[in-house]
Amino acid sequence: MRQPEQRLADLRAQRAANLTGERRLLELAERYGLAELRAGMDEILDYAERRTRAALNAAPDGAHEATEVLEGKDGDIELRLRAELSGERLVLDFGGSAEQIAGNLNCPISVTKSAAFYAVKVLFDPDGPPPRAAGVRSRSARRKAAC
């Protein structure tokens, strides 16, 4: 487990990265104008979506299920995933997974989606744009309401 000093260093590094990103984004907006910058960003997202949809469409339709177990303090915690691919649409359904537990093994939906979409990107379009731009409009993730 990471110690408080390490966590503080992580937060400082994240803050520095965010400040650098903010500065560079403002530089781009100043150089190209806000409208052109937004158009360029939209095009990257559209391009990533086209690539992702094409890769999904090229894969065979079907449904696949997987189950994994985490060792929890009070027993095993089951994670379930059903992936359904139909044409260019992929649905990742985590229903059937264990309920939330006390402790630090729970995962917010934003983190769940990020990890799942990254895995889809690696499997279907490893040479495409970065995961953040990897066409999330062509796939969705579901979870139980209590998770």
- What is the C-alpha to C-alpha distance for residues 75 and 69, in angstroms, rounded to an integer? 10
Instruction: Report the pLDDT value the prediction gives residue 146, as an integer from 0 to 100.
Output: 39
- What is the C-alpha to C-alpha distance for residues 48 and 125, in angstroms, rounded to an integer? 9
Higher pLDDT pick, 141 / 119: 119
SS3 114: helix
pLDDT tens readout for residues 1-51: 568 888 899 999 999 999 999 999 999 999 999 999 999 998 988 888 888
Instruction: Report the pLDDT value the prediction gives residue 106, as an integer from 0 to 100.
Output: 82
Kindly indicate the confidence band of residue 141, based on its pLDDT and cuts at 50, 70 and 90.
low
pLDDT tens readout for residues 53-106: 899 999 999 999 999 999 888 889 999 999 999 999 899 999 889 988 887 788
The reported pTM is 0.73
Instruction: Report the pLDDT value the prediction gives residue 31, as an integer from 0 to 100.
Output: 98
Confirm if 143 and 98 have CB atoms less than 8 A apart: no
Confirm if 91 and 142 have CB atoms less than 8 A apart: yes
Kindly indicate the confidence band of residue 142, based on its pLDDT and cuts at 50, 70 and 90.
low
Instruction: Report the pLDDT value the prediction gives residue 143, as an integer from 0 to 100.
Output: 57
Instruction: Report the Cα–Cα distance between both ends of the chain, in Å, rounded.
Output: 24
Q: Token pair for residue 131? A: 């995961």
Q: Where are the domains of the chain?
A: 56-142
Enumerate the β-bridge partners of residue 64: 83
